[in-house]
Amino acid sequence: MSPQDLTPPSRLAARFATCQAEQRAALVTYVMAGDPDRASSQALLAELPAAGADIIELGMPFSDPMADGEAIQRAGQRALGDGQTLAGTLDMVREFRRQDTATPLVLMGYLNPIQCYGETRFLGDAAAAGVDGLIVVDLPPEHGAAFTARARDLGLARIPLVAPTTPAERLPALLAQGDGFVYRIAYNGITGRAGSAPRGDLGTALAQLREHTPLPLAVGFGIRDGDAAAAVAAVADAVVVGSALVERLETQGQAAALALVRELAERTHR
């Protein structure tokens, strides 16, 4: 099957359909592109689907990631220290797609490197490389209409972030620019806050959110182990794990990181 047979964002839709058919939540794994170096990061990327990652979120390193906690900050610093660039991140996606045309891959990062690369050029290159969706943390719908329209023309999903603070009045504007899935932030805070778990009312919050959108709902931030992943998988369509995985990679290496992915994948089965 060539990449053209499953053009974005249908790769995302297909994956969610599969998970739904198997009656389980999707596991979304976040890793930082180029952490700790390009070659090992590329190797990890290739191993993630077999370990159980249903969707890959690939971080685009930025010097000043204001929504990220220390684990992802450090990962970004390591990648940048090794010379990772946005062009290099797109190269990694291209390389990944030579082996894998089925696993959806979403880029996550901040606006400034994208603007520096050139928004139009970035979107074109990302679509051509085989990216399925984009999460741009600091591009709210108020400023993102043109970007979203261009992304849509290219078949790139613009995945909206919804926070616990987001009032219901805001949802229509937010979701109108959303495709692929909705990323519900589990708590008010930055990524990877130690010891924090989603609040007990997550199920209610997701039920309310479902009234506003037919898109699958992913939940992330602070999901650090199998128990937390299982709890979220019971109510959400997807579980996003980032900091815990990035930290595992930092402290114990690639094999241990992949072991964590396998453990999380097991626990996201309902």
Partner 1 sequence: MTDYPDRNGFFGGSDGYGGRYVAETLMPLIGEIEAAYDDARQDPDFNAELAALQCDYVGRATPLYLAERLSAHAGGARIYLKREDLNHTGAHKINNALGQALLARRMGRTRLIAETGAGMHGVAVATVAARLGMTCTIYMGAKDIQRQQPNVQRMRLLGARIVAVENGTATLKDAMNEALRAWVASVDDTFYVIGTVAGPAPYPRMVRDFQSVIGREARAQIVEKTGRLPHSLIACVGGGSNAMGLFHAFLDDPVALIGVEAGGEGIESGRHAASLNGGSPGVLHGNRTYLLQNADGQIQDAHSISAGLDYPGIGPEHAWLHDSGRARYVSVTDSEALAAVALCCRLEGILPALESAHALAEATRVAAELPPEASVVVCLSGRGDKDMATIIEHLPAQEATP
Under rule CB under 8 A, residue 209 binds partner 1: no
Tokens of 266: 């097991």
Q: Which of 25, 123, 174, 249: binder of partner 1 (CB under 8 A)? A: 174
Q: Minimum distance from CB of 105 to partner 1 (Å)? A: 21
| CB-nearer residue toward partner 1: 10 or 166 | 166
Under rule CB under 8 A, residue 117 binds partner 1: yes
- What strands, in cross-sheet order, belong to the sheet with 26-32? 157-158, 133-136, 105-109, 55-59, 26-32, 238-241, 217-220, 182-185, 161-162
Q: Minimum distance from CB of 202 to partner 1 (Å)? A: 16
Name residues contacting partner 1, limited to 64-103 (CB under 8 A).
64-70, 73, 80, 85-87
Q: Which of 6, 53, 185, 229: binder of partner 1 (CB under 8 A)? A: 185
Query: Is there a catalytic annotation at residue 68?
Result: yes
Query: Is there a catalytic annotation at residue 57?
Result: yes
Under rule CB under 8 A, residue 243 binds partner 1: no
Under rule CB under 8 A, residue 235 binds partner 1: no
Under rule CB under 8 A, residue 142 binds partner 1: yes
Asked if residues 233 and 269 have their Cβ atoms less than 8 Å apart, the reply is yes
Asked if residues 76 and 63 have their Cβ atoms less than 8 Å apart, the reply is yes
Q: Which of 82, 94, 113, 128: binder of partner 1 (CB under 8 A)? A: 113
Name residues contacting partner 1, limited to 33-52 (CB under 8 A).
none
| CB-nearer residue toward partner 1: 66 or 102 | 66
Tokens of 73: 């900050």
Under rule CB under 8 A, residue 154 binds partner 1: no
Choose, from 35, 54, 57, 237, the residue flagged as catalytic. Answer: 57
Q: Minimum distance from CB of 50 to partner 1 (Å)? A: 31
**Which CA distances in Å does 125 have to 5, 9, 117, 132, 192?**
19, 15, 10, 12, 30
Please, is 10 exposed, middle or buried when counting C-beta atoms within 10 Å of its C-beta (0-12, 13-18, 19+)? middle
Q: Minimum distance from CB of 92 to partner 1 (Å)? A: 15
Q: Minimum distance from CB of 163 to partner 1 (Å)? A: 4
User: Where does this chain bind partner 1 (CB under 8 A)?
Assistant: 62-70, 73, 80, 85-87, 110-117, 137-140, 142-143, 160-167, 170, 174, 185, 188-190, 193
Catalytic residues: 57, 68
